[in-house]
């Protein structure tokens, strides 16, 4: 469920008409719904009710400070994968004790940043990273709380580029080597073992892979405790999918995901950490664009928008599907026709949809890409010297720009011409 609905024939974000935002900020732009963010976070709270837990929002899915503060104020922790994301979480008011630091390539500078600023735990992904963290923690005279991320060799049955739990993926320590890695961790100075971490991928649409992975984690936890380790937390990652295609069957609900957690690891007495991103923010945002031209091609027609692959890269990068809907609701029974929905970037790959059935649209009409709140603005670029688009947050009948569109002068001002190109020749 989201809060982007037609009212009197016009698409609204909660109680704000999308054309009103377009008139104020111009297109394209992203808009997020506070009510949807809140509802989806609370669904996870309900799913884990009665178990000690912390829901750590995956900052990589949407890193806007206003979005992070909205969730942080609800009690969310944050899952970060870089020093920059750590600083974003702290800038949004999230304390270090609610931040977990994941990622395969943490630098020593990033480790130092988090140790000095406060951290709940590091999810360590390799033995070399473990040794580096021990060195930095010892230099600072502190102890680094850690969970080792284990790779359970489970097929998440998702897109190959977002699967992370198979043996050939770069993530985590092979589960067969986990006991040896934990023994090394226990012997290192500056390291305190607190838990086990696992994450098998993103946009999972069935529960069986979770059950397989969590069952392996439960077996490992019992073995590690028998080895003398204190395992107080289980970080079970994120990955639960959302329904990008409304006509398809819906992915499992958070409550069903919670039942899998209870069934597989609920008897271990551990605090549960999960790292949802997409399911919280995905359907909480849309990308709004204007029609620039209607172009008749050879055997196909093109709907050319002012949004492009640099604004929403998922269709180009993953062949991902997004529902595309007119902001003005079409009349009942209006005839639809197939069009290729494309952007202005000088790439054939700048294609959002091929032969997508849409009602008639004219130049200047607004369209919305649904389910664009995750991995949308956060993955955007300025390719083709196109400014990053604004982000807007709605709450009830109010909206605010939470990231402004940069001017071309601001974009050009970030470059510097060296003196040998400006002096006399």
Give the containing element (helix H, strand E) for 224.
helix 208-226
Pick from 168, 184, 176, 128: nearest CA to 150? 176
**Phi, psi for residue 116 in degrees, rounded to 5:** -75, -35
What are the residues facing 10 on neighbouring strands?
7, 328
Cβ-based neighbours of 354, under 8 Å, separated by 6 or more? 340
Give the containing element (helix H, strand E) for 217.
helix 208-226
Distance of CA 341 to the CA centre of its chain: 24
Distance of CA 67 to the CA centre of its chain: 12
Pick from 25, 14, 92: nearest CA to 288? 25
**Phi, psi for residue 221 in degrees, rounded to 5:** -60, -45
Helix axis angle for 83-91 and 65-73, nearest 10°, is 60
Catalytic residue annotation: 346
Q: Cα(344)–Cα(342) distance, rounded to whole angstroms? A: 7
Q: Cα(355)–Cα(338) distance, rounded to whole angstroms? A: 4
CB 279 within 8 A of CB 258: no
Place of tokens 């994120």: 238
CB 18 within 8 A of CB 11: yes
Q: Cα(378)–Cα(390) distance, rounded to whole angstroms? A: 12
């Amino acid at each position: 469920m989201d809060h982007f609905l037609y009212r009197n024939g016009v698409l609204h974000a909660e109680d704000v008409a999308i054309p009103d935002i377009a008139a104020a900020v111009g297109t394209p732009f992203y808009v997020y719904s506070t009510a949807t963010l809140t509802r989806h976070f609370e669904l996870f709270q309900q799913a884990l009710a009665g178990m000690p837990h912390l829901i750590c929002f995956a900052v990589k899915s949407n890193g806007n400070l206003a979005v992070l503060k909205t969730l942080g104020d609800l009690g969310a922790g944050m899952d970060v994968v870089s020093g920059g994301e750590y600083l974003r979480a702290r800038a949004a008011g999230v304390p270090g004790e609610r931040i977990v630091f994941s990622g395969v390539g943490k630098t020593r500078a990033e480790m130092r940043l988090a140790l000095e600023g406060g951290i709940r735990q590091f999810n360590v992904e390799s033995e070399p990273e473990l040794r580096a963290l021990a060195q930095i923690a010892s230099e600072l005279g502190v102890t680094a709380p850690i969970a080792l991320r284990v790779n359970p060799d489970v097929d998440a049955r998702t897109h190959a580029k977002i699967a992370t739990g198979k043996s050939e993926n770069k993530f985590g320590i092979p589960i067969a080597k986990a006991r040896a890695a934990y023994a090394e961790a226990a012997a290192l100075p500056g390291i305190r073992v607190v838990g086990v971490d696992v994450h098998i991928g993103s946009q999972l649409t069935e529960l069986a892979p979770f059950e397989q992975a969590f069952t392996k984690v439960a077996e490992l936890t019992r073995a590690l405790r028998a080895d003398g380790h204190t395992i107080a937390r289980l970080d079970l990652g994120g990955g639960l999918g959302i329904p990008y295609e409304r006509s398809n069957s819906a992915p499992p609900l958070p409550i069903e995901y919670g039942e899998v957690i209870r069934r597989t690891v609920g008897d271990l007495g551990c605090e549960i950490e999960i790292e949802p991103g997409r399911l919280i923010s995905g359907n909480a945002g849309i990308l709004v664009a204007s029609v620039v031209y209607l172009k008749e091609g050879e055997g196909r027609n093109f709907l050319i928008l002012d949004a492009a692959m640099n604004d929403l890269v998922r269709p180009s990068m993953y062949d991902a599907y997004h529902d595309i809907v007119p902001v003005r609701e079409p009349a009942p029974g209006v005839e639809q026709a197939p069009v290729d929905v494309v952007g202005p970037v000088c790439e054939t790959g700048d294609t959002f949809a091929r032969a997508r059935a849409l009602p008639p649209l004219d130049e200047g009409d607004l369209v919305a890409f649904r389910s664009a709140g995750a991995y949308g603005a956060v993955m955007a670029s300025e390719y083709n010297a196109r400014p990053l688009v604004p982000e807007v947050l709605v709450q009830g009948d109010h909206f605010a720009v939470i990231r402004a569109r940069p001017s071309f002068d601001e974009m050009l001002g970030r470059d510097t011409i060296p003196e040998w190109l400006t002096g006399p020749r």
